[in-house]
Structure 1
Amino acid sequence: MDFPDDLTTGQRIRLLRESRGMSREMLASMCGRGSDWLKKIESGERQLRNNGLILRLAAALQITDASLITGADSNVSQPVQVGRLHHPGMPPIWDAVMNRRLSAARPDAPVDVAALQGRVDQTWILWHTSGQNRTEVMKLLPALIRDTEAAVRSLDGTERRAALVAQSDVYRLTGQATAYVAPAELAWVVADRALAAAQDADQPAAIAAAAWNMGNILRETSYPEEALRVVTEAADLIRPHLDEAPADWRGVYGALQLHAAVTAARDGRSGDAWRYWGAGDQVAKSLPASYVHPSTVFGRANVDFHQVSVAVDLRTARQALSVADDIDPDAMPSVERRARLWVEVARGHLQRGDHTAALHVMQIAHQIGAETVEFTPSALTAVTDLWQSAPRALRPEAAQLAEKIGLREAG
């Protein structure tokens, strides 16, 4: 980016952050700081003089020269080693999404919508069961995007509505698989298409699931109030159908409650966060103990996992770790969610200053789901904190983990 020479450091940081679709909270957390700290930096209320923090901001913003933050006349113009928040699978997905064909030919053979939905469902299963889930799922998404688009164009009536549900599911999965690695514009397009397809299908459960996905984008781009509005409106839409609806409708309703709980917790709203979490807990109690929603993995284990996340986001580490002590991670069939649980536990240990325990559980998280750690900002922040702040005896192990996820070069 080319900046006017008269921009302050804070103004440069804000423009870089917004150009990447990052919320203030996300960027601050990747630097081990709170959103209030970054707000003061961006507004000019507080000066940024710590070279280490400047370099961490540059790495988090994925820029290779710190002078983009400080200005060319500053003393900090050294190259920056950026983390691995990029993925080689993005270009084909970008092409499938952003170079959408407006007049593509219809399929030569009749479309089997049930088989198409089956492919989508199997790809969701792969997302939740593979330790290299991003890489494996991103290979399949371009074809699925084009095939569901072609199906919607070639069908009508009931079959077209079924194809629209499959299309919405594909775009939701695309949002999940490209989170934190997709350019902001693609993330917004994908979320909007998922919601539009579900609305065209006029299927309340699909609309609710797409709203859950849209809420993720809104929350991660610093629109917490809008995220809460979207998920609560979706919950209101599906609630009247719950008594006689299939279990998966209740599952997505519960997922909306957990989404709202995390959104409120990140905004520091303890009462609202626990109220939403309690609503999700009640939904889980109404479902069979073994129930798991196929895409959001809502169920008993996920509710318990979210209890840890909410407590960590509210910075009540003692409560989070106490809850985690009673959780059986293997009860969660999703590898991705199991890895994220250990990341949350590590965050709790870091809040209490226990670097030894935090390093141990981050190593477990990486063993379970390497790509979950490599491509999740909160995990990258935790590893960075360990690498830079762990006791001397632990630094070689912390540096080795940082090397594995691309935060430092070998040797």
Structure 2
Amino acid sequence: MADELSTGERIRMLRESRGLTRAALAQMCGRGEVWLKKIESGERPLRSHDLLMRLGAALQLSDLSAITGSSGPAAPVPSGRLAHPGLPDVWAAVMTRPLASTTTAEPIDPAVLQGRVDQSWRLWHTSEHNRTEVGALLPDLIRDAEAAVRAHDGEQRRAALVALSDAYRLTGQATAYVAPAELAWVVADRALAAAQDADQPAAIAAAAWNLGNILRETAYPDEALRVVAEAADLIRPHLDDAPDDWKGVYGALLLHAAVTEAREGREGTAWRYWDKGDHVAKSLPATYVHPSTVFGRANVDFHAVSVACDLRKSARAIGLADDIDPDAMPSIERRARLWVEVARGHLQRGERTAALKVMQMAYEIGAETVAYTPAARSIAADLWRHAPRAMRPEASRLAEAIGVPTAS
């Protein structure tokens, strides 16, 4: 196809060449016909990597560049979603939830249960192989949390519900990009339902932040913004006398909105949300870090890089990254994602040598974070195809380590 064709025009031509109706292709991607019509006409931009991959798979493409053109990312289109060996056990724990209590064992103390959940969140942020290690803990954690909710009543039950909500939020993080869509939605819904049942504003806000992530990554940005805005409105009246972690959740909601607005190209609104998040961070102790969202001074600075990248202000993104001390962020997972963002900024500027070096840093910091993040895989695929000749052996080794197909 001609280089000057837009993404929407390419999708329409590919769809018609395969004899697919607009309704049929949209259904294969889990969306509606009106959505695809807007994409094909250019009325709505298509920025979601996940949806690009779904379209590529539905159109039976081997490479994403058939949709994005020569100026877009070149990435192999997998025949199925990314796989992780721990997913079947997590799936079984989520999808075979008992409808009634089936054990006579002593019920788990909700405080002990919450301690296990908190410890698992710490492992998520501090392990280089966080999906594997946390994924191994999740099945028992989910089952025990569900059993605790059924076994207790009153305040004990409310505490168990908060722990259950936190466990499901962690499940959403640990299975992102590898779980079937139905599992992602079930997990997000259960996290929010448990928090609402507990009637605890901070837990509701955290679950809404998690749901917002799912909505944004499945190309429902307006719905994502609505959810996090409602959660922010819910928790805001409690902040004056609230614990620091309640403010941390509130700040995380604001940063979520900043990135969502940036991905939609709304620069002014994106930076206004970021400024509000920055203000919250300044009201907290300098060393404060929220245990699950890792909101704090460092994460606010990291999000500034993401906002600039999503707005395609690559020079600003790289400049902001130059002033960041990565070691101020205790989360290995978040540090690895920062360097993926920096690599994305370099790639936007055509600086593939710099992008490769930064991606190698990201992989050394958090191998599984990079291997299971679509944006990182897209960058690795682009580098494998287009890195300078002298850098191609390194680019090939990185792609193979991440698991990006490199067969010609």
Which residue of the other structure, out of 78, 82, 90, is the alignment partner of 1:62? Answer: 78
Amino acid in the other structure paired with 1:17: C
Greater relative contact order (Cα 8 A, min sep 6): structure 1 or 2?
A: 1
Residues 79-104 of structure 1: CA deviation (Å, up to 9, x unaligned): xxxxx821011101111111111124
Cα–Cα, structure 1 residues 52 and 117, in superposed 2: closer, same or farther, change >3 Å?
Answer: closer
Task: Give the TM-score normalised by the residue count of structure 2.
Answer: 0.86
Structure 1 384/143 Cα, relative in aligned 2: closer, same or farther at 3 Å? same
Q: Find the partner of 2:165 among 165, 168, 180.
A: 168
What corresponds to 1:289 in structure 2? 286
Aligned counterpart, 1:8: 20
Give the drift of 1:241. 0.3
Provide the rounded CA distance (Å) in 1 between the counterparts of 2:85 and 2:142: 18
Matching residue of 1:90: 87
Give the superposition deviation at 1:105: 1.3
Give, in whole Å, the separation in 2 of the partners of 1:251 and 1:296.
8
Q: What pairs with 1:282-361 in structure 2 (closer than 5 Å)?
A: 282-361=279-358
Counterpart CA distance in 1 for 2:145 and 2:61 is 51
Determine the structure 1 residue equivalent to 2:48: 26
**How far apart in 1 are the matches of 2:108 and 2:394?**
53
State the shift of 1:52 in Å.
7.1
1:13 deviates by 5.8
Q: Which whole-Å CA distance do the structure 2 matches of 1:315 and 1:13 have between them?
A: 29
- What is the rounded CA distance, in whole Å, between the counterparts of 1:50 and 1:97 in structure 2? 33
> What is the match of residue 80 of structure 1?
none
Task: Structure 1: give runs of 5+ residues left out of the alignment.
Answer: 65-83
What letter corresponds to residue 18 of structure 1 in structure 2?
G
Match of 1:67 in 2: none
CA RMSD across the alignment: 2.9
Give the SS at the match of 1:168: helix
Aligned 8 A contact 2:221 2:260 in 1: yes
Aligned amino acid, residue 62 of structure 1: P
Q: 90, 97, 122: which one pairs with 2:119?
A: 122
Match of 1:260 in 2: 257
Structure 1 length normalisation: TM-score? 0.85
**In the aligned structure 2, how far is the partner of 1:186 from the partner of 1:48?**
24
**Deviation, structure 1 residue 7:** 3.0
Q: Percent identity?
A: 67
Residues 392, 58 of structure 1: CA spacing in aligned structure 2 closer, same or farther, 3 A cutoff?
Answer: closer
Which amino acid in the other structure matches residue 79 of structure 2? I
Q: CA deviation at 1:58?
A: 11
| Partner residue, 1:371 | 368
- Measure, in 2, the Cα distance between the counterparts of 1:381 and 1:133: 21
Q: 1:118: Cα distance to partner? A: 0.3
In structure 2, the CA distance between the partners of 1:252 and 1:50, relative to structure 1 (3 Å rule), is: closer
Q: Which residue of 1 aligns with 2:37?
A: none
Moved over 6 A (4+): 3-6, 9-12, 28-31, 47-52, 55-59
Indicate the larger mover: 55-64 or 191-200: 55-64
Pick one of 221, 233, 236 that aligns with 1:236: 233
1: CA distance, partners of 2:334 / 2:211: 19
- Render the CA deviation track for 1:132-189: whole Å, top value 9, x for unaligned: 0000000000000000000000000000000000000000000000000000000000
Partner residue in 2 for 1:79: none
Quote the Cα distance in structure 2 between the aligned partners of 1:192 and 1:28. 20
Matched letter for residue 229 of structure 1 = R
Provide the C-alpha distance between the structure 2 equivalents of 1:372 and 1:325, rounded to a whole number of angstroms: 22
- 1:393 Cα deviation from its structure 2 partner: 1.1
Distance (whole Å) between structure 1 residues aligned to residue 75 and residue 96 of structure 2: 30
Residue identity opposite 1:317 in structure 2: S
Task: Measure the CA separation in 1 of the matches of 2:250 and 2:63.
Answer: 46
- Would the aligned equivalents of 1:342 and 1:361 in 2 still touch at CA under 8 Å? yes
CA distance in 2, matches of 1:4, 1:345: 38
Contact 2:62 2:77 in 1 (8 A): no
Partner of 2:12: none
Q: Secondary structure at the match of 2:403?
A: coil
Report the Cα offset of residue 110 of structure 1.
3.5
